[in-house]
Structure 1
């Protein structure tokens, strides 16, 4: 793609130059999300196509982009439908700015024919997944028993079972986002929770939050302390910078061994990393989703259609924590625990609870008619 402004006015400005000018005018946390997503749009989607200037971006261009996002939102391993619409809206915001500064006469992304392929995105709170108490209990009971059996059989070699138990407990009881404790390939700064960010005595962890604060505090419930303590004892990390939930993916471990300029071992790469204090990578959000699919089925979690591919999701854990707190202690407790900056976000997420409670209250009003 050309990086140079052709010298013309208006829509003839190069996309890369327009993007840079647009980002210079943005402020706050929103700007970092814009920068990341516009870079992906230009470098991964636009690259190789024929659009080089703002004027080249037509409603058909954006329709093709909407189709691309819709395809990515299909299936268990794709992005969420809401994410597809969010990514589209970031590009639309850029093009709206181009209209505002009179580089474009209108925003091609806002044409109905351009937006039409996008996934609906109108899912109500009652249709989203929330880990229910009985589902949370089934999964945590299963990983408890699985870890105990592995420790009895393998002792200190029961790493994966102990790690998985600690991860499930953190997800099930804290309301943390998966990308705050696991590696996210889309963000270099999200490389997994580290032991130097875990304060078991104080009952808290520090995470890289959605607000872009690298030291956002998350409370640990009593249920999570012992699984984390047992994991730390078992791993005995050589450095506090080690990930709390390491990956034992062999190719990734061999990459770390190569980077450390060791010869590749013939034996177990995980044991080699431990023996030589080579820091392993953190488990990724993708890896955690694969784990949750397997554990959901093995634990026979109630309320899931395994034939249809259902499983307990990462974000379903967060919603489930908020739902329980919302029911038991109200909106403010849920908002503080989930760290929603806007109370409206919490209210919208749990609107189904308010509707149900209103229905029950109103039933009593009409019973005596």
Structure 2
């Protein structure tokens, strides 16, 4: 713990020192996310400002930060409103912790005048994106046709299209989290699904779950074929290879440099495959970019792609749960999505419960 001076004053506790102590107490993905966001706050946003210690942070400081986040959420290429609130809440969590350990008398981030500029938290479960059955069909039909056309034209060189098809099918039908099968640059352990994690015989994949434990996810019949075709095409020389290799040139060149090969003049991905150099896995950020492009090319219904709307990673997961919830009830959705608390499933699909109650209650008033 940070030591105060001999008189018990905490005025000299720097924000960086407090951040490090706070994050050290947290574990797992939450701790990693905290570290990333709070470091951005202390090292980037506060850079050049006067706030250096905990005591320097005032409600006005937090109001300025809230305004900054609101502007980012309002921009065409910024962050989502929910993300803006999350960033603010992470900083508020640090300051609440400082109050708890008696480094601060109160949390300046919780003052109403500080939170005022934040985007309002009025989103209900029905406002969140869910891949609808029609949208799921549209994008899977598109990537399927795209992969077949590429195979007809390019044969074994149709890697990208075959990989994209397998990835979209896994997202669309398993309910897996994006960070469970893709690389997250902020968390070393999240380095993407490996072929050693895929069990075709039993129809399961093993992922590093949100619980920080290894968890089994069932593969539906829709996903097995695209995955098997991808494996046949790639023919990985080792089970440790990622299922969804990245085509990101800088990352591939880093792998080539590490392997002590000379950089090729041509395609780095072809060079990596030819020399059996393990490629990096696709990342969550790279897949978001891919989904934006595929959503537009597939002309997915219900999206204003010209306004930046696209099928999101988590929307795929919610869409799987929504269909299961409607067809088989809350328990099946909970088990598939691996929610530890049934309340999470219920809250996510509360709009379905409300709709069904409305339909059921209609008959009660029909004879009035």
TM-score of the pair, normalised by structure 1: 0.91
Secondary structure class of the residue paired with 2:233: helix
**Corresponding residue number in structure 2 for 1:329:** 328
Offset, 1:242: 1.4
Secondary structure class of the residue paired with 1:327: helix
**Corresponding residue number in structure 1 for 2:158:** 158
**Corresponding residue number in structure 2 for 1:88:** 88
**Corresponding residue number in structure 2 for 1:278:** 277
Secondary structure class of the residue paired with 2:11: helix
C-alpha distance in 1 between matches for 2:28 and 2:301: 43
Higher mean C-alpha deviation, range 110-119 or range 318-327:
110-119
Q: In the TM superposition, what whole-angstrom CA distance separates every residue of 1:146-167 from its partner, at most 9, and x where no partner exists?
A: 1111111111001011001000
Secondary structure class of the residue paired with 2:265: coil
C-alpha distance in 2 between matches for 1:294 and 1:21: 41
**Corresponding residue number in structure 2 for 1:347:** 346
Higher mean C-alpha deviation, range 93-102 or range 51-60:
93-102
TM-score of the pair, normalised by structure 2: 0.92
Alpha-carbon RMSD:
2.3
**Corresponding residue number in structure 1 for 2:66:** 66
**Corresponding residue number in structure 1 for 2:245:** 246
Offset, 1:25: 5.2
Secondary structure class of the residue paired with 1:216: strand
Q: In the TM superposition, what whole-angstrom CA distance separates every residue of 1:220-267 from its partner, at most 9, and x where no partner exists?
A: 111101100110110011221211111112222122212222111112
Higher mean C-alpha deviation, range 37-46 or range 124-133:
37-46
Distance 1:129 1:26, change over 3 A: closer
Higher mean C-alpha deviation, range 319-328 or range 133-142:
133-142
Distance 1:76 1:189, change over 3 A: farther
Offset, 1:357: 0.5
C-alpha distance in 1 between matches for 2:287 and 2:17: 38
Structure 1 alignment gaps of length 5 or more: none
Distance 1:27 1:148, change over 3 A: closer
Q: Is the 2:252–2:269 contact (alpha carbons within 8 Å) kept by the matching residues of 1? A: yes
Q: Is the 2:66–2:114 contact (alpha carbons within 8 Å) kept by the matching residues of 1? A: yes
C-alpha distance in 2 between matches for 1:181 and 1:295: 19
Higher mean C-alpha deviation, range 230-239 or range 185-194:
185-194
Distance 1:77 1:228, change over 3 A: farther
Q: Is the 1:147–1:162 contact (alpha carbons within 8 Å) kept by the matching residues of 2? A: yes
Offset, 1:101: 3.0
What does 1:300-319 correspond to in 2, within 5 Å?
A: 300-319=299-318
What does 1:1-369 correspond to in 2, within 5 Å?
A: 9-23=9-23, 31=31, 33-74=33-74, 78-213=78-213, 215-369=214-368
Q: How many residues align?
A: 366
Distance 1:56 1:123, change over 3 A: same
C-alpha distance in 2 between matches for 1:81 and 1:193: 30
Secondary structure class of the residue paired with 2:123: coil
Q: Is the 2:130–2:322 contact (alpha carbons within 8 Å) kept by the matching residues of 1? A: yes
Q: Is the 1:195–1:242 contact (alpha carbons within 8 Å) kept by the matching residues of 2? A: yes
C-alpha distance in 1 between matches for 2:87 and 2:104: 21
Q: Is the 2:28–2:212 contact (alpha carbons within 8 Å) kept by the matching residues of 1? A: no
Structure 2 alignment gaps of length 5 or more: none
Secondary structure class of the residue paired with 1:73: helix
Secondary structure class of the residue paired with 1:206: strand
Q: Is the 2:32–2:187 contact (alpha carbons within 8 Å) kept by the matching residues of 1? A: no
C-alpha distance in 1 between matches for 2:172 and 2:367: 42
Offset, 1:31: 4.8
Distance 1:208 1:44, change over 3 A: farther
Which stretches of structure 1, 4 residues or more, deviate above 6 A after TM superposition?
A: 3-8
